[in-house]
Amino acid sequence: MVKAVGLSPSGVLNDAGKSNPGNLFRFDDGAYTFNLSTKGLSGGTYTLDFTVGSDPTVNHYAFTVKPEKVVPNGGKGDGKGDDKGGH
């Protein structure tokens, strides 16, 4: 059993889509998986804290959340730019 116990520096630990009941990692295809929701987290480095089995030692996994891209014109358009100049 692998259990997420915290997230630093935000302190808010939310699984994505309730896919990890009780903050427990799932074991799929030979790997432990935890779907962490990054909604509301600003760009930067975070640390997911977790325990393994009955061992009280808290382990840490560092990861980076990229800042949200700001798209001109409120995200509208086809991504090809708005240059409508004459030729």
CB 15 within 8 A of CB 23: yes
CB within 8 Å of 22: residues ≥ 6 apart: 3
pTM: 0.72
CB 42 within 8 A of CB 67: yes
What is the residue-level pLDDT of the chain in tens, covering all 87 positions?
A: 999 999 999 888 888 888 899 999 999 999 999 999 988 889 999 999 999 999 999 999 999 999 877 777 765 555 554 444 554
Beta bridge partners of 15: 36
Q: Where in the chain are the domains?
A: 2-68
